[in-house]
Amino acid sequence: MSQGTGPQSPADQPALDAPLPYGPPLTLKQAKAILQAAEAEAERNHWPVAIVIADSSGDVVLALKRDQTQHSSLSIATGKALTAVNFRRPTKMFQDGIAAGGEGLRFLAVPGITPLEGGFPLVLGGQIVGGIGVSGVLSSQDAQVARAGLAALA
């Protein structure tokens, strides 16, 4: 697992038994850079999405809803960002657990989880400084937009 000062790829995210600690909240300047990079990816692909950036305490710092985005996308993106922060995991982990059935179905009983791909913790210096959530297109495309935002965290 990378413990550098840059962003981590989803493959570098913490294992279930070793979550990263929370750090100080990301700055507004960092949140704006993340949002701009994510929106640029959505624009390149002509995807109508909502993008939400939350800080390490789970407060929404910035939110954007692109034109023609479906009505529910903003609340879903918020749920993804908060799930990523509050549970210190990418939201796809919950989606995959539920899809696998068995014990993974327990995630359905946990309040506050949005178990859909497209939410990631924002990691800087080995600490979680926030989360990003994207919704509006296919979950894999939401994740693509979110990863573009992750790349802007420096």
Mean pLDDT (whole number) for 55-83: 98
Q: Check if the beta carbon of residue 113 is closer than 8 Å to that of residue 17.
A: no
What's this model's pTM, rounded to 2 decimal places?
0.88
Q: Check if the beta carbon of residue 66 is closer than 8 Å to that of residue 49.
A: yes
pLDDT at 123: 97
Q: And the tokens for 74? A: 């903003």
Q: Check if the beta carbon of residue 133 is closer than 8 Å to that of residue 80.
A: yes
Domains of the chain (ranges plus CATH)? 35-150 (3.30.450.150)
pLDDT at 18: 78
pLDDT at 3: 38
Cα gap 42→51, rounded to integer Å: 10
Residue 19 pLDDT exceeds 90? no
pLDDT at 27: 97
Q: And the tokens for 13? A: 């995210």
Mean pLDDT (whole number) for 86-104: 96
Q: For residue 76, what is the enclosing H or E element?
A: helix 73-87
**Would you place residue 14 in the very low, low, confident or very high pLDDT band (cuts 50, 70, 90)?**
very low
